[in-house]
Structure 1
Amino acid sequence: MCFLLTAGFVSANDNTQYQITSQDDSLRGEVKKNVILYLNDFSAPDTDNLAYWEKLVKRQVSQALQALGYYDSKINLTIDNSSVETKITIDIAMGYPIVIRQSNYQVVGSGASFKPFVTQRNSYPLVVGSKLDHGSYQAAKTAMMDIARAYGFFDAKWLKHEVAVDLDNQTANIELSFDTGSRYQFGSINIAQAHASNDIIHAMAPFHTGDNFTSSAIANYNIALNQSRYFTSVQAIPALPNPITKRIDINVTAVNRPRNIVEVSAGFTSDLGERGRLKWVKPWINRYGHSLESEIKLNQQEQSVTNNYKVPHGDPNLDYTNYVLGWRHTSNFNDTSNRYRKYSLQWQRHQQITDQWKRILLLKYEREKDDTQSATRTHIIPGFSYIRERRIGGITPNWGDRQFIQVEVSDKAWGSQSSFYKLSLRSNWLRQFNKTHQILLKLDAGYISASDINDVPISMRFFAGGDNNLRAYDYNSISPLDSDNKSRGALTQLLGTIEYSYPVKDKWRLAIFHDVGTIGDKFLEDKYSDAGIGIRWETPVGLVRLDFAKGLQSSDIPRFDKPFNISFAIGLDL
C-alpha cells in the first residue's frame, strides 16, 4: 500500500503548474514549505531542452531540502502535456537528515565575555545530535555580526566558519570561531555648520566622548533632537569608524525652525462646543535654548491666555524650568451668569528622574475672583507631581498606560488666604490582545482636606461629567449642589471606566463602555454610573470618538435623572 500526500501547488505561469507529492508520506511541515518557496516563480519547461530543464528543477528542489539537512532525498519528475495547462508532478522521498556529530564554537577577542555575545553563543541551536539546518547556521552567524555592529565591535570577523558534511555516514562537523575585535567609543559631535543651537545639540546627546558606542544611543539621540521642537529638520549620523583611534564621530546636520511661528486652529467638541486657538511660538530666544510660547483659547465654557517661558538645564526634553503667566475666565459649568476669573503665576521644574518617571516641582501664586460670592481669594501653593507615560502606536496607540500623582498644599503660614491640601491620583491602562481586542481601564481619585468647601478655589475643586468620564452627563455638571441647585464642586472624587473595543473595518472600531463614579464632600456620598456604545475612527490627526451614553441612576433633579448624551472628541484620553 502506498500513501499519496499532496504537499502543495506552485504556478510557474498561467499555463504551467507544479504539483508536489510524497508517496512515502515523508514530506511535511517546514521542509514542504521550503520546497514550495524555492520553486516560486521558477521558469516553465523548456521543450527544446527538456533534460537540462529537469536537471535544473531537481537541483532547485535538492537545495531546498539540503538547506534543512536532507542530503539523501530522491526526486522524480513527471510531465503531463495532455491538456492546455502543463502539469509537472514532483515526487519527493526525503530520506534521513544529516545529524551533527561535532560542533565547535568559540568566541575570542576583547568582547568574548560581553554579555550579549555570551547570551547569543549559549543559545546556539546546532549542538551535537541535532539535525543540520543551514538556515539556523546562517542566522547564528548573522546574529553575532548584528550584535557587533550594535555595540561598536566594528572589527569583528569570523576567523573560521565551516560545515563539513559526510554523506556516507549522514553526519556533519561544524567549526565556528568568532573574533569580536576591540570595542569602539564615541568620538566628537561634529555639527555641519555654525548654529546658535550648538550647545543644545551637545546637551541632548545621551553619551559623552569616550563612552562605549551603541546604536541605540544614536537612535535615542535622533529622537531627542526631533522632539526638541528647535529644528525644522535634524539628523545625527555616525561617521566611518577610525581604526587607529578606535573611535567613531557623530555628524549632525540641523536646520533651525523659523524665529516666529503662528498657529491658528478651530474645532468642536461636545464638552466645550465651538472652540478656537491662537498660538505664537518663539523656538529660539538665545543660544541657551530659551523659548517662549503664548496661547489664547476661546470656547463656550472658558477663555484663557497663557504665556510659557522655558529655560532648559541640559536636555530640553528632560530637564527644564517653565515660568507660566496665565489668565482664565470661566463660566461656572453651563451657567453663563456664574463666572470666576483667575490670574496665576507658576514656577515649574521638570526633571526626568528615571528612564520612565518624570517629576515636576511647582510653586503657584493664584488670585481668583468668584463672581457668585463677590469674593477674591489669593493663594500660594507649592506642590509636586510624578508622571509616567508609555505608549505604542503613535497618536492612535494600541498599547499604553499613564500614571499621575500630584500633591498641592496651601497654608496661611506662608501667605495663603486659606489652608488646605489636595491629592490627585490617576491610572489609565490600554492593552490589546490578539491584535484585535482592546481594553481601556481608567481610575481617577482625588481628595481635598479643607475645613470648608469655600476655602478651596473653584478651579481646584472636583467636578465630573463629559467626554472622558461619566459620559451620559454634561461637562463638569456632577458635584454637590449649592442653594441655587447649581454645581459648586466637591472635596472628593473616585471615578472609573472600563471600555472594550473591537475592529469592524480597517481603521474603525466598535466600543462598549461602563462609567462609574462617586463625587461629594465625603467618599461614596453620591454615586453615578452610565453605559453605552461608541465608534472609534483612526485618522491621521488622532482617534475620533463618538459615544452614545445612558445614565443608570434615577434622580429628582431632571439633569441627573437617567440622562442620555452624545459626546464627540478627538484623541485618546490616556
Structure 2
Amino acid sequence: MLQNYIYFLIILIFTPVEASKICLNIDGVNQNFKKNITSRLSTIIYNEEIINKGLHDNIFQIKLLKSIKEGLRAFGYYEPNINFKWFIVLSHNKIPILVIYINAGKPIKIINTNINLNGEAKKDLNYQSLIKSSKLKVGTQLNHEDYEKFKNELSNLALSNGYFDAKFQQTQLAVSIKRHEALWNIDYDSGLRYHLGDINFYGSPVDVIYLKNLIPYKKGDIYNSYILAELNRRLSATGWFKSVIINPEIRTASTNKILSLNAFLLPNVENLIKTGIGYSTDVGFRLKGTWEKPLIDNKGRNLTTNTYISPLEQQIDLRYKIPLLESPLEHYYTIASGIKYSNINELKSNSTILTISRNLEDSNWQKQISLHWSFDHFTQGELTTNNVMLIYPSISLKRIHSYGGLIPTWGDEQLYLVDISNPIWGSDVEFLIFQAQNIWIRTLGEKHRFLVRANFGWIETNNFNKIPPTLRFFAGGDHSIRGYKYKNVAQYDRNGHLIGASKLLTGSLEYQYNLKDKWWSAIFIDSGEAVNDLRDNHFKIGTGIGVRWLSPLGPIKFDIVLPIDNKEHCLQFYVGLGLEL
C-alpha cells in the first residue's frame, strides 16, 4: 500500500541536443507504482515538441499533472494534492530540476462486490475457484488493474473450458469520491458448455484408425483447451508429422453445442539426416550421425540408423519401430541390431547384438521386455581371446521427470534393469544381472541447486571370465567417479591387468550456486568402487569444483577434480556437453 504522502524527484535534463538525453528519476514509491507513473510520464517528457517550449509551458504542466493523477487513480487515489517547484542546478549545463510534491490523499476502499454467474458456469468449480482467489475483497483498496484483470480471467476461462457463448450482461465499477468508497457489479452469463464431437483428419499418410487411437478423449466429453493441447502433443510425438494444426468448428456447433474438430497434418520429410560433434574428457572428440525414415508405410512404422565414432569406441546400430494399433504412441515393438568396437584401457572388444523388444509407456514409467542375442569377441587382461554367444531376456523400468528446462529446477531419473542368461536356452554362460541408477535434482530458492546420483550393479554367475566386457562393471570418469580415469576403477587380475568387476556401487553429491543468469558454480564429491566382493573394497573418492554454463548448444560443464589418497591419479580436468537427466 502507498503512504498518504508521496515524494517524487523528477530530473529533466534539457540541452540543445535531441530529447533522448532527458533523464527521469522517481523516488519514494514502491516499484509497481513507480513503473506505472514512469510509463505515463515517458510519453510527455520525451515529446521533443513540448520539451522545446520550456519547463514553464502550461501545456507541459497540464499534461504532466493529468498523467500523475491518472497513475494515482489506477491505485485508488482520487483526490491527490500536487504541487510543482523548480530548481536550477549550478553547473556548466545549468540543469533545470522539476520537483513534484504529492499528497496522495485518502484511498478508495471496496465496500461491496456483487458477482452474479448465470449458465452452467454457476456450478463450475473452476469459476468458483477463480472468484475465491480474486482480489475482490470487501475492505481492500481499489485497484483498477485488478478489476480489468478479473474480467479478462472470466473471459479466458470461458474460452479454455468451452463456454463459447459467454458474455457480460453488465459490468459496473461505481466510485463515490466523497465517501471514498467503491463497489463492483458484474453480471456474467456463461451459457451452455460445449462438448467434443467427431474429429476429421486431413493430409495424413497414416491410416485413420491409428490416428483415432491417439485421441485422448471420448466423443461427448466436455470441451477443454488442455485436451486439444494433449491431442496436438500426441500427434506431434509420433514423429510422423512436420506440422499439426487443430481447429474447432465453433460456428457450426452453436445449435447443438457439439464441437467437431479438424486436424490438418503435414507429413514429415521422407528422410531426416542429423550430424553432430561433441567432446568429453572421458572419450575425447566424438562424432554422431543419424539417418531416420520417420514413416515407412501407412501403419506408422519407422527406421532409424545411428553411427557413433570416438577414439575409444565406434558403434553403428539400426532400430525398426512397429507401433501397435491399440495405442500407437505408448505400445510398440522394436527390432534393433548393432555392431560395437571398443578399445578402453586393456580391453579390446567386438560385439554384435540383435534385440527384439516390447515397449509399454504410460505417464510415469517406460517399461520394456526384451530378448537379446549377442556374440562377443574380446581380449582382456591375461585372458586369451574369448568368443561368447548369449541369448538372454531382460526387463527394464525407466522414469524421467523434470521441470525447469535444460537446467532443471526439479527432477529425477530412475532406471532398473534385470538380465537373465542360462545354458538351457543356448547361452554359453549362466548369469543374473541387476542394475539400478538414480539421479535426483532439487532447488532451494532460486540460486541453490542440489544434484544426487547413485548407481548399483550386481552380477551373479558361475563363470565370470565368460561374461563379456560390455556387461561387466567399471567405474571412473565423468558420470561415475570424477578424479579417476574413464572405466579405470575395477578388479585387477594377478598380473595387474584390469578385468572389470561383478559388483558396482557409486554415488555423488553436488551443490551448485547460481552466479548470474546462465552461469553456475559447483562443488562436489564422488565416491564408489567396482569389485567382485564388496567386503574387500577400498572406496575411491574424488572431490572438486566446477562451472556450469547454459550455452546456446546446451549445458556445458568444466570441472577440476582431485582424487583422494591416490598417487596414481593426479589432478583431473573434465569438459562435457550434455543434459544431467
TM range (shorter): 0.7 to 0.9
Name the SS of the counterpart of 1:222 in structure 2: helix
CA shift digits 1:391-426 (9 cap, x unpaired):
345445454321222222233454444433222221
Deviation at residue 243 of structure 1 after TM alignment: 1.6
Alpha-carbon separation, structure 1, partners of 2:339 and 2:188? 66
Deviation at residue 473 of structure 1 after TM alignment: 1.7
Alpha-carbon separation, structure 2, partners of 1:393 and 1:99? 40
CA shift digits 1:158-177 (9 cap, x unpaired):
22221222223222222122
Query: Paired residue for 1:120, among 119, 130, 138?
Result: 130
2:8/2:101 contact within 8 Å kept = no
- Say if 1:17 and 1:346 are closer, same or farther in 2 by CA, change over 3 A: closer
- Say if 1:144 and 1:553 are closer, same or farther in 2 by CA, change over 3 A: same
AA partner of residue 116 (structure 1):
N
CA shift digits 1:318-340 (9 cap, x unpaired):
33221112233333x322xx433
1:18/1:90 contact within 8 Å kept = no
Which residue in the other structure is 1:450 paired with?
A: 461
Alignment of 1:396-415 (within 5 A): 397=408, 399-415=410-426
Which residue in the other structure is 2:241 paired with?
A: 231
Alpha-carbon separation, structure 1, partners of 2:99 and 2:393? 82
Alignment of 1:160-171 (within 5 A): 160-171=170-181
- Say if 1:530 and 1:15 are closer, same or farther in 2 by CA, change over 3 A: closer
- Say if 1:130 and 1:296 are closer, same or farther in 2 by CA, change over 3 A: closer
Alpha-carbon separation, structure 2, partners of 1:10 and 1:186? 59
Which residue in the other structure is 1:522 paired with?
A: 533
For these two proteins, the number of residue pairs brought into alignment is 559
Taking structure 2 as the reference length, the TM-score comes to 0.85
Which residue in the other structure is 2:223 paired with?
A: 213
- Say if 1:153 and 1:303 are closer, same or farther in 2 by CA, change over 3 A: same
CA shift digits 1:472-506 (9 cap, x unpaired):
22221111112332222222211111223445566
Deviation at residue 278 of structure 1 after TM alignment: 4.3
Alpha-carbon separation, structure 2, partners of 1:119 and 1:48? 51
After TM superposition, the structure 1 stretch with the greater mean CA deviation from structure 2, 516-525 or 489-498, is: 516-525
Which residue in the other structure is 2:577 paired with?
A: 570
Name the SS of the counterpart of 1:42 in structure 2: helix
Which residue in the other structure is 1:558 paired with?
A: none
Name the SS of the counterpart of 2:230 in structure 1: helix
Q: 2:44 aligned with 1:42, yes or no?
A: yes
Name the SS of the counterpart of 1:286 in structure 2: coil
Deviation at residue 196 of structure 1 after TM alignment: 3.9
2:422/2:430 contact within 8 Å kept = yes
Gaps of 5+ in 1: 556-560
Alpha-carbon separation, structure 2, partners of 1:392 and 1:28? 32
After TM superposition, the structure 1 stretch with the greater mean CA deviation from structure 2, 477-486 or 243-252, is: 243-252
Query: Paired residue for 2:356, among 315, 329, 347?
Result: 347
After TM superposition, the structure 1 stretch with the greater mean CA deviation from structure 2, 125-134 or 470-479, is: 125-134
After TM superposition, the structure 1 stretch with the greater mean CA deviation from structure 2, 144-153 or 410-419, is: 410-419
Which residue in the other structure is 1:151 paired with?
A: 161
Which residue in the other structure is 1:363 paired with?
A: 371
Alpha-carbon separation, structure 1, partners of 2:284 and 2:30? 63
Alpha-carbon separation, structure 2, partners of 1:81 and 1:245? 73
- Say if 1:259 and 1:169 are closer, same or farther in 2 by CA, change over 3 A: closer
Alignment of 1:299-310 (within 5 A): 299-310=310-321
Alpha-carbon separation, structure 2, partners of 1:513 and 1:36? 46
Which residue in the other structure is 1:424 paired with?
A: 435
Which residue in the other structure is 2:397 paired with?
A: 386
Q: 2:269 aligned with 1:258, yes or no?
A: yes
- Say if 1:553 and 1:274 are closer, same or farther in 2 by CA, change over 3 A: same
2:303/2:318 contact within 8 Å kept = yes
Which residue in the other structure is 2:184 paired with?
A: 174
Deviation at residue 289 of structure 1 after TM alignment: 0.7
After TM superposition, the structure 1 stretch with the greater mean CA deviation from structure 2, 524-533 or 34-43, is: 34-43
Name the SS of the counterpart of 1:460 in structure 2: coil
Alignment of 1:485-496 (within 5 A): 485-496=496-507
CA shift digits 1:110-162 (9 cap, x unpaired):
13222221111112322222222222222222222222222222222222221
- Say if 1:346 and 1:133 are closer, same or farther in 2 by CA, change over 3 A: same
Name the SS of the counterpart of 2:123 in structure 1: coil
Name the SS of the counterpart of 1:458 in structure 2: coil
CA shift digits 1:410-464 (9 cap, x unpaired):
3345444443322222111234445444332211122223344336443222111
CA shift digits 1:155-213 (9 cap, x unpaired):
22222221222223222222122222222233443444353465554444433443322
Alpha-carbon separation, structure 1, partners of 2:340 and 2:210? 33
Deviation at residue 385 of structure 1 after TM alignment: 2.0
AA partner of residue 553 (structure 2):
V
Which residue in the other structure is 1:9 paired with?
A: 10
Which residue in the other structure is 1:540 paired with?
A: 552
Taking structure 1 as the reference length, the TM-score comes to 0.86
Deviation at residue 387 of structure 1 after TM alignment: 1.7
AA partner of residue 252 (structure 1):
A
Deviation at residue 310 of structure 1 after TM alignment: 0.1
Alpha-carbon separation, structure 2, partners of 1:392 and 1:311? 30
The percent of aligned pairs where both chains have the same amino acid is 26
Deviation at residue 282 of structure 1 after TM alignment: 1.9
Alpha-carbon separation, structure 1, partners of 2:104 and 2:556? 56
Which residue in the other structure is 2:16 paired with?
A: none
